[in-house]
Amino acid sequence: MTLIAPDTTVVHTTHGPVRGTVDGPVNVWKGIPYAAAPTGWHRFRAPVAPEPWTDVFDADRFGPAAPQSPMPGMPLGNVRKDEDCLSLNVWSTGTAGDRRPVMVWIHGGAYFRGASSQPVFDGRALADQGDVVVVTLNYRLGVFGFVDFSSLNTDDFRFDTNVALLDMIAALRWVQANIAAFGGDPDCVTLFGESAGGGAVTTLLTVPAAQGLFHRAIAESSPATSVYNQERAAHVARVFLDILGGAGDPVDRLLTASTDELLAASDELFARIPTETPGTLAFGPIVDGDLVPDYPVNSFWNGTAARVPLLIGTNKDESTLFKLMKSPLMPLDPDVIRGMFAEIAAEHPDVEFPDQARIESAYSGLETRDDALGLTRDFGFRLPTLWIVEAHARYAPTWLYRFDYATPMLKALGIGAAHATELPYVFGNIAHGPKEIPFLLGGLSTARKVSARMQQRWLEFAKNAVPVGLDGEPTWDPYDPIGRATMVIDKHDTVIADLDGPLRAAWGEQVIAFT
């Protein structure tokens, strides 16, 4: 009699059995549903558990990406797009009974684009290198996840707020209930993300319903102040309905519109809002007084954010990507920037706004677009990050970094260490060969060394809550209001005391939540 070895990739979850695949030393499960399809009467509502299944679910391919229009330079992998997008993926070198640290990734994309299936987010190298369990997830995007229609609630139908954040919380609850069966430790979960994903991390740190679902956090390039009040949310909902049509019976129109109709209107809204109100996003979390009780920066300063270790930072040249893409998200015209500041000051007469002349002088009077790039970079990313570290360091261990490394080609193109350029280094997916565009002028060997150092820091933080480096690397001290240690990640890493002193001097010490 021939004995057949059991399939070690078959795992029993709370919803049903799933079968993965083997990728070298790593077992992989893709496209596991963590919630039911948010369609029909579930559209714009909180996620609900999927129907249980008894047959083995073949988790051998990524689930559908959330509906979105194509974007050059953002390949989503070989997946279709569908509203039924609430799935996650697991990479693990362990088996049930192991207790490996878990890292849960939230992708970016302006709350509007992206997917866990993007090749740069393949978790194999990170799981193998660090002996951790990596989880990546999809969540609702654009109008499907980040427009608050609660101002349209009726006795017959209720729109929920922040449904995409609720998606993320549902995925984190799935991790708590199931990750032990994949060899992970539910008591050692690091939540990490970049851009909109980083903004989700800094927001979820302040959400009471998310506390206890993760124990460490890493926020890369978080637009932490792109969180809005319900008055603005109601305005955005009205603008969307004007674009879509159907204001006479908005509930029926929103529930019966096709995916393509909603997506087309979502695209128009994405461009219109930052054009009408520079410096703001069409989509983002809402302070609803319930799930999100306050603006996240306020919660950090009040000490009501989760007091877990935090690693946070930005890239040196964040804005160059938006310039390259001609994106409406970050204003670059000096007159538009001045108008943006005037509008913010008018909307918040009770706030002592920093002296505008002093700010402009720190950026050479905004005489060129390069000056504007620096200001929008700091306004959108670096300042919110500094406000958070100054606050959070009073309550929990906090580490601040800046990613400065750029290959010779990216420097020659004037891109530098742009927004999102750190992602391949974190995941260990920097390149498959020297003919890829970033390495046409060399730098692959150095890039691999940068990636190894960066991965080591991120992995040690996930394991032990301290970003210890490889032997011979500088010690990265926690941030405090005296030393203000900042790790500068470059060809050679350095720790600089008060790297952002000139920035704080220009903008002032006062924390201002621009909302």
Residues recognised as catalytic: 195, 318, 419
Strand pairing report for 87-92 and 133-137: antiparallel
Can you tell me the distance from the alpha carbon of 385 to that of 379, in angstroms, rounded to the nearest whole number? 10
DSSP E strands in 360-415: the ranges are 398-403
Can you tell me the distance from the alpha carbon of 226 to that of 454, in angstroms, rounded to the nearest whole number? 27
Compute the C-alpha angle 430/71/411, nearest 5°: 45
Q: Residues 89, 29: contact at Cβ < 8 Å?
A: yes
Cα separation of the two ends of the chain: 71
Cα 476 versus chain centre, distance: 24
The secondary structure element, H or E, covering residue 320 is helix 320-325
Q: Which of 369, 314, 312 minimizes the C-alpha distance to 337? A: 369
DSSP 8-state class, residue 113: S
Strand pairing report for 398-403 and 57-58: unpaired
Q: Which of 381, 268, 368 minimizes the C-alpha distance to 318? A: 381
Can you tell me the distance from the alpha carbon of 131 to that of 432, in angstroms, rounded to the nearest whole number? 22
CA distances from 175 to 131, 198, 267, 425, 498 (A): 17, 19, 32, 25, 38
Task: Name the one residue in this structure whose structure tokens are 């002996």.
Answer: 131
CA distances from 186 to 13, 189, 197, 415 (A): 14, 6, 21, 39
Is residue 6 exposed (0-12), middle (13-18) or buried (19+ Cβ within 10 Å)?
A: exposed
